[in-house]
């Protein structure tokens, strides 16, 4: 299962004007940050919080917490976690029987019908973005591929097995023993 994890941020009384959250967002205003939809809650006393209320697919479709959406041979589920939310990604059955849910290697569309990957569009050794634009694949030349990097919500490319600290967040791209690849982003306190 491919997943993207982010932790919600909460603000308490700050220099933000009354009725606004840090960053200039108005009470009730929703905005997108990476793959997540957030909403500002601010009161007349100056207290505010920003909570994750949904997820956004790579093609811009908004998904409410607890819901799923199918887009371009992927199923996205947006789930609340103890620390915020996660958007899980898995391939639909139409991608071929060699794929499995969220595996880091498998068969691309048109498996066995052509040389290369994605119906011959990419050749052995070439790297390309997954259809959901969240991962970088390397073509194995027989229709199969390996996931070699994650694409963070800010567009950064992070090789599998590495971490990056940037703008107060730790970004991690991990490949597990079962072949699944996971991207996570968590705040550093």
100-122 pLDDT per residue, tens: 223 344 433 333 344 678 878 88
What is the predicted pLDDT for the residue at 16? 56
Q: In what order do the strands lie in the sheet with 169-175?
A: 68-71, 74-81, 84-91, 2-7, 181-187, 169-175, 162-166
167: how many CB neighbours lie within 10 A of its CB?
8
- 51/146 Cα distance (integer angstroms): 35
3-state secondary structure 14-45: CCCCCCECCCCCECCCEEEECCEEEEEEECCC
How far apart CA 17 and CA 43 sit, in angstroms, is 10
Both tokens of residue 18?
Answer: 């009354």
Output phi, psi for 95, to 5 deg: -85, -5
10-residue block means of pLDDT along the chain (189 residues)? 46 60 88 86 86 84 88 79 75 38 37 62 89 85 82 84 84 81 76
pLDDT of residue 120: 81
Q: Residue 184 forms beta bridges with which residues?
A: 5, 172
């Amino acid at each position: 299962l491919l997943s993207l994890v982010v932790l919600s941020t909460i603000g308490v009384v700050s220099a933000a004007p009354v009725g606004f959250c840090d960053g200039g967002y108005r009470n009730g205003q929703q905005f997108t940050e990476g793959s997540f939809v957030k909403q500002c809650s601010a009161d007349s006393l100056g207290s505010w919080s920003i909570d994750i209320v949904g997820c956004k697919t790579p093609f811009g479709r908004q998904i409410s917490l607890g819901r799923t959406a199918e887009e371009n041979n992927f199923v996205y589920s947006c789930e609340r976690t103890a620390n915020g939310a996660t958007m899980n990604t898995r391939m639909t059955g139409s991608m071929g029987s060699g794929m499995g849910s969220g595996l880091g290697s498998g068969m691309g569309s048109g498996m066995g019908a052509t040389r290369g990957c994605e119906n011959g569009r990419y050749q052995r050794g070439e790297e390309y973005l997954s259809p959901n634009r969240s991962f970088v694949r390397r073509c194995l030349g027989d229709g199969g591929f390996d996931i070699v990097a994650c694409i963070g919500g800010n567009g950064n490319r992070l090789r599998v097995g590495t971490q990056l600290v940037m703008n107060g967040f730790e970004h991690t791209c991990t490949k597990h023993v079962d072949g699944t690849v996971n991207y996570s982003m968590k705040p550093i306190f």
